[in-house]
Amino acid sequence: MFRAYSALIRKEFIQVSRDRNMLRLIFLMPVVQLLVLGYAVNLDVKKISLDVYDFNRSQTSRELVDAMKAGDYFIPGEEGQTKERRPLWHLADRFQDGSAQMAVIIPEDFSERLTRGENVTIGLMADGTDANSARIGLGYTAQIVDRYAWKHTGLSPPIGIRSAFLYNPETESVYYMVPGIVATLLTMVTIMLTSMAIVREREMGTLEQLMVTPISGFVLLMGKITTFAILGLLEMVIALAVGVLWFGIPFVGSPLLLLALAVLFLISTLGMGMFFSTITSSQQQAMFLAFFSTIFAMLTSGFFTPISNMPQWMQYITYLNPMRYFMTIMRGILMKGAGIADLAPDIIALAVYGSVIFSLSVIRFKKRTE
């Protein structure tokens, strides 16, 4: 059995390595997709136009504002130099028409509290529609404020920052896009490769020759699946490498955990691929099914629209989508360094989903036709 299993894997690899379209699909597609989609998202965050709401208007607050404007990071926008208080809704307008992307708000008692050695908090408002810029702007500000606090008080930061995003912070950020693209690619490629590989063998007649050998249906499927799981993981590594090295997305959590959970996720998608191969009779049909299920998975995964923003009935539908769980897992591990405990519900959901769809397709895949 093991001989047959390893021979199957070797055979699949030989075939993939001789199929140009397959190679292109596996290795070129992730890079191209990432570059295209990654650049569609605005990455140019060097200059953020910054409004200042200085309610303290002291020498001390002035210095902080100057420090922020000094670097290459911000373009000065409006400043409330007069005592008159501009209402914050004015800021919403400025975000809306794009004339400001961020605003710093310094409270009235800023200098007094600092001289008394008390903690003080400044406010930071950011335009969440470009969450990528917002996050980076927040990072810059934190650095500047830190340095300023050290210089002034010699104490570790007595100045806190409370930040808030206006609008939804989860859209259009390359940080959010890249994990989404990687998960989508992984889904598409594994479903497509698996379903098409089995259907192609049926079309070519080679499946019949295989069926007449003593290899069990289970081993046969395992051989295919192992190959495509390895290819899928390779694909993920390439895509993530491009994401991290080229786009500088963060990778805070454990790569090993991500790899292990990717394997868990692949059980679902490979199972789906097998299932599709049992209900289709041509490669085109298999490709269509793979394609549409990937689109469906993508739309209901929280890739573009956060799930919490979807209508309630749509939210229920997303529970049927394995990619939804993997998306949470990816974002969690990449950006927040989430561990097993944090991701437990998603891991359990994936495990249940994978074992159901996988067993279903193994049962449906018969060696003898009726």
Q: List, as own/partner pairs, every contact residues 343-346 make where C-beta atoms lie below 8 angstroms and the sequence separation is at least 24, other chains included.
A: 343/261
Q: Which stretch binds other proteins (CB under 8 A): 51-59, 173-181, 182-190, 214-222?
A: 214-222
Q: What is the Cα–Cα distance from 335 to 170, expressed in whole angstroms?
A: 13
Alpha-carbon separation of residue 62 from 16, 52, 56, 110 (angstroms):
65, 10, 9, 11
Q: Which range binds other proteins by CB under 8 A, 26-34, 170-178, 328-336, 362-370?
A: 362-370
Q: Give the N- to C-terminal CA distance of the chain in Å, as an integer.
A: 26
Nearer to other proteins, 24 or 46 (CB): 24
Binding of other proteins by 208 (CB under 8 A): yes
Out of 96, 115, 216, 284, the residue judged to bind other proteins by CB under 8 A: 216
The tokens 């926008």 sit on which residue? 77
Exactly one of 14, 32, 155, 164 binds other proteins (CB under 8 A); that residue is 14
Nearest alpha-carbon partner for 180 in 221, 236, 140: 236
Residue 42 as a binder of other proteins (CB under 8 A): the answer is no
Q: Say whether residue 20 binds other proteins (CB under 8 A).
A: no
Phi, psi of 44 (to 5 degrees): -80, 90
Tell me the two tokens of residue 34. 């990432």
Binding-residue total with other proteins (CB under 8 A): 28
Q: Tell me which stretch binds other proteins (CB under 8 A): 13-21, 152-160, 301-309, 344-352.
A: 13-21
Of 315, 342, 318, which Cα lies nearest the Cα of 330?
342
Half-sphere exposure of 200 (CA within 13 A, CB side): 14
Closest to other proteins by CB, 1 vs 75, is 1
Nearer to other proteins, 8 or 362 (CB): 8
Q: How many CB atoms lie within 10 A of CB 71?
A: 10
Stretch that binds other proteins, among 90-98, 110-118, 213-221, 315-323 (CB under 8 A): 213-221
Q: Between 80 and 223, whose beta carbon lies closer to other proteins?
A: 223
Which of 51-59, 207-215, 257-265, 276-284 is the region at the interface with other proteins (rule: CB under 8 A)?
Answer: 207-215
Helix axes 29-40, 217-247, angle to 10 degrees: 40
Give the nearer residue to other proteins in terms of CB position, either 128 or 223. Answer: 223
Q: Per rule CB under 8 A, is residue 3 in the interface with other proteins? A: yes
19 binds other proteins (CB under 8 A): yes
Which of 239, 184, 195, 200 lies closest to 221 in space, CA to CA?
195
Instruction: Give the residue, chosen from 87, 214, 308, 341, that forms a contact with other proteins under the rule CB under 8 A.
Output: 214
Decide: is 362 part of the binding site for other proteins (CB under 8 A): no
Residue 250, phi-psi category: left (phi > 0), alpha (psi -120 to 50), beta (remainder): beta
Contact call for residue 6 and other proteins (CB under 8 A): yes
Among 44, 205, 256, 313, binds other proteins (CB under 8 A): 205
Which of these segments, 15-23, 225-233, 247-255, 286-294, binds other proteins (CB under 8 A)? 15-23
Beta-carbon contacts of 8 under 8 Å, excluding residues fewer than 6 positions away, are: 215, 219, 220, 222, 223, 224, 227
CA distance 102 to 73: 12
> CB of 289: closest distance to other proteins in angstroms?
24
Phi/psi region, residue 154 (left: phi>0; alpha: psi -120 to 50; beta: rest), is left
The contact set with other proteins (CB under 8 A) reads: 1, 3-4, 6-8, 10-11, 14-15, 18-19, 204-206, 208-216, 367-370
